[in-house]
Amino acid sequence: MGVEPQGNGFSVDGAEEGFISDSEAFASVINVLDGVRMAPSLVAQVDKEQYYYLVSVVNPGRKIGPVDEALTVTALKALTRAVFKIDIMYHGALLNNIFLTSIWDYDLETRNAFLELITTMATLPDKFLENCLHVLLCNFRPPNWLKAPFCHSKRWLMRKKEVHSELHLALHCITTLVPLAPVRLKCLIEKLMSRVTEDKYIMVTYVEGLLGLEKNEIGKFLGSTVMAKVVDLLTDLDVNIPWEDILQEEQNKSVFVIELGDSNQDDEHSSIKQNGVLKCNVFADKLDGLMVVVCDHLKSCADTGCLLEGFDRLSEIFRRAVLKLHKSKFTQFLIFYACSLDPDTCGLKFAILLTDIFVSKDEDPDSRHPSSSLLEFDRMKAVAYLASYLSRAKFISSSLVTSILQRLVDWCFEYCQLQESREKMISPQADRIFYSGCQAVMYILCFRLRSISDVPHLKQLLFHLPLDSILCHPTLDPLKVCLPLIVQEFLRQASAARLFKKPMPYFYDDSFESEFSKAFGGIERLDMFFPFDPYLLKESDRFMRPNFEFWDNVRTTYSNFDGDEVDDELEDLDVPNFPDDAGGYEVHNDIDFDNEDDIELPMSKMSITPKPSFLHPIATNFSQPSLMPARIRPSQSPPSPRQGILSRREWRG
C-alpha cells in the first residue's frame, strides 16, 4: 500500500509519479525520527518541519477524510516498523498524540494499524508498556460527544462491538507476549475505573468493555479484579440514592398498604416515576444501566458454561464488600440473579454461604476492628440476607428451604438451652443474634409455610422442629422482641396450619416495630433489614421479576389461593375489642387446636386489618390520599390480611 504525498509532507525522496510506497514511507519516517534525535538547538529547520508534520498526521483531535485517513494508515504502519527509533526524550509530542488517540472515529483499517503500533510498542523492554495498556483501557470509553439517543442506534452498537473486540484482542496479545502486563493491567484497571460523576453512557460502555476481559483469556490473569471494581462502582452509586430525602417529605401523611406484586401490571414503574422515587435521580439511572450490563454479562457466562467460576468470584466479593454495606439497596441483586441462572449449584452455594456465616463463631478474618460487635453485625446481616433470599427466590426449592430452616432452628434451640440458668429478663442487645435468627425463621415461614406443608415428608420434618420451645422460651421470649408485624403474620399462618402441638401465647401489637425490636436491631436497624425487597430499577427489572416472589402471590395457609381469590371468611375478619393490656401476652389454654371452630377465635384476634383506632399516631388524616411512593420503606401502620407484612418497598400511600 502507498499514499500520495502532500505538499509539505515528511521527506518523500525517491517517490515516483507522486506515490509513496510502504517501504519509502518507512524510510522517510526513520529519517524524520533520526532528524530530531538531538538537542533542539541543533535540529535543522527542515527536520523540525517534517517531524511536526508527522506529529500532525497522528493527531487525535483532527477530523480526517478518506485521503487523510489513508495517510494516517501509512504513517502508523511506518511507525510500527520504526518503533525502535522512538525515544521518549526526543519524540514527546509524537508519543503524546499516540497515547491520546481515540480509535472510535477511525475506520477498520486505521484502527488495525493503530492497534498494531500499540501492541508493538508494548513489547519494547522497559519503555511504553504502561502507556500502551493505558491507552487501550481508555479506548473502552466512547468519545465524550456521544449522547442519547445516538448511543442506542444500530450503527453505534455495531461500532461498539467492533471496537471492544479489537481492544480485547490487542490486550490479549500484549499479556501473552509481556509477562509483566497482567500485573500492570490490574493496577491500571483500579486507577481508571469510572467515578459516579461520569456520564452514564460513557460509564456503561466502559464497564461493558472491562467485563469482556473476563470472558477473554486475560480473565485468568485478572481473577476477580474487574468484577470487584465494578461492584465497588455499583455500591458507590447505590449508597448515593437518597431514600431518606423522599421519606422526609412524606412523614406527616397517612400510610396505607398495597402490594405491587402483579407481574402483569404495566403501570407499576409509571407509578414509581410519578411519585418521584427514582425520577430525575441520576445515580439511580446510572445504576440501572450498569445493572443491565452486568446481568447481561452473567447471562453470557451462563450460556458459555463459565458461570460457576464467575459466581465463586462474585460470592467472595459479596462477602468482603456487599455484606458489610448496610445501605445497599440494589447491588445485592446481582448475586440473586446469578443464583437464578443456576439454582441447583449457585443457588445452593449462596444459601449455604449465608447459613455458615450466621452459625459460625469464628472471628472475622476481614475485620480490622478488634471489637466482636462487627462479627455479630455481619452474622445478623447474613441471616437477614438468608431470610430475604429464601423468601423471595422463586427458583429455590421447598426442600432446600426446609433444610436451611432446620439448621437455623437447631442453632436457636441450642442457644436457648445455654440460657436455662439465666435470670428471666429480656435483653435484646445481648441476645440480638438469637433474635435475628428467630425473626429469620418466622419471616421465611410467612412466605414458605404453605408450600412446605404441601409436601408430606417436608411437612413432617418441619412439624417436628422444636419451634414452640424456642418461641415460647420463658427467658428469651422472641415473640415479644421480634418485629410485631412478622410475629403476627407468622402466628396467623402457624395457627391455620396447626404447626404447634400446644396452645401458643398470643401477642397483639398494632405497630410495625417495637422498642424491643429497635433494641436488638441496633443503630443500623437490622431488625428491619430485608435486602431482597422488591426491585425498583426500571430497565434492569426484567432480569429480576421472573425469578422474584411478590407477597401478593404468596400462597398462605389461611387462604384459598385460586387466582386472586381469598377465603370469604377472611374478608369479614375484624379486630376484636382488646383489654387495656392488649400489648402483652395472653395464653389461650382453653382452645382445642383440633377443633376448627375453636381456631376461629385466635385467627380473628390475629387479624392485622388496619383500623383507625389502631393506626400509628401520625396517620390521622384519613380523608386525604397518601402520596407515599410505592415499595420504598416500611409503613408504620399495620397491614391488611392479604397485604401483610413483609416488605419495606411493598408499601404505598
Q: Mind giving me the DSSP string for 83-114? A: GGG--TTT-HHHHHHHHT--GGGS-HHHHHHH
Q: Is 14 helix (H, G, I), strand (E, B) or coil?
A: coil
Mean pLDDT of 234-246: 77
Which CA distances in Å does 523 have to 180, 520, 644?
A: 47, 9, 25
**Predicted pLDDT of residue 413:** 93
Q: Which helix (H) or strand (E) holds 586?
A: strand 585-587
pLDDT-derived band at 173 (thresholds 50, 70, 90) equals very high
Cell of 193: 475505573
Which CA distances in Å does 44 have to 34, 54, 56, 394?
A: 12, 16, 19, 76
Mean pLDDT of 78-85: 92
**Predicted pLDDT of residue 374:** 59
Closest Cα to residue 643, out of 593, 618, 607? 607
Per the listing, cell 407484612 goes with: 645
pLDDT-derived band at 526 (thresholds 50, 70, 90) equals low
Higher pLDDT among residues 36 and 156, named by residue: 36
Kindly report whether the global pTM for this prediction surpasses the value 0.85.
Answer: no
- Euclidean distance between CA atoms 165 and 216, whole angstroms: 10
Written as one string, the DSSP assignment of 143-209 is PTT--TTGGGSHHHHHHHHHHHHHHHHHHHHHHHH-TTHHHHHHHHHHHH---TTS-HHHHHHHHHH
Cell of 621: 388524616
β-sheet bridge partners, residue 505: 587
Biggest CA-to-CA distance, the chain: 113
Per-residue pLDDT tens digits for 376-386: 888 989 999 99
**Predicted pLDDT of residue 516:** 57
Per-residue pLDDT tens digits for 404-445: 999 999 999 999 888 776 666 667 777 888 989 999 999 999
Q: Among 285-289, 324-328, 413-417, whose mean pLDDT is lowest?
A: 324-328
Residue 501 exposure: Cα atoms within 13 Å on the Cβ side:
9
Long-range contacts of 528-531 (CB under 8 A, 24+ apart): 528/483, 528/634, 528/648, 529/326, 529/380, 529/381, 529/384, 530/384, 530/387, 530/388, 530/443, 530/646, 530/647, 530/648, 531/328, 531/332, 531/384, 531/385, 531/388
- Euclidean distance between CA atoms 464 and 232, whole angstroms: 44
Dihedral class, residue 349 (left if φ above 0, else alpha if ψ from -120 to 50, else beta):
alpha
Q: Quote the mean pLDDT of the chain.
A: 76
- Euclidean distance between CA atoms 579 and 590, whole angstroms: 18
**Predicted pLDDT of residue 631:** 40
- Euclidean distance between CA atoms 136 and 130, whole angstroms: 10
Q: pLDDT at residue 272 above 60?
A: no
Instruction: For Cα atoms 174, 179, 185, give the angle at the middle one, nearest 5 degrees.
Output: 60
Q: Which helix (H) or strand (E) holds 505?
A: strand 505-507
Higher pLDDT among residues 424 and 345, named by residue: 345
- Euclidean distance between CA atoms 89 and 59, whole angstroms: 19
Q: pLDDT at residue 174 above 70?
A: yes
Cell of 128: 511504553
Torsion of CA 423, 428, 434, 436, to 10 degrees: 160
Higher pLDDT among residues 341 and 581, named by residue: 341
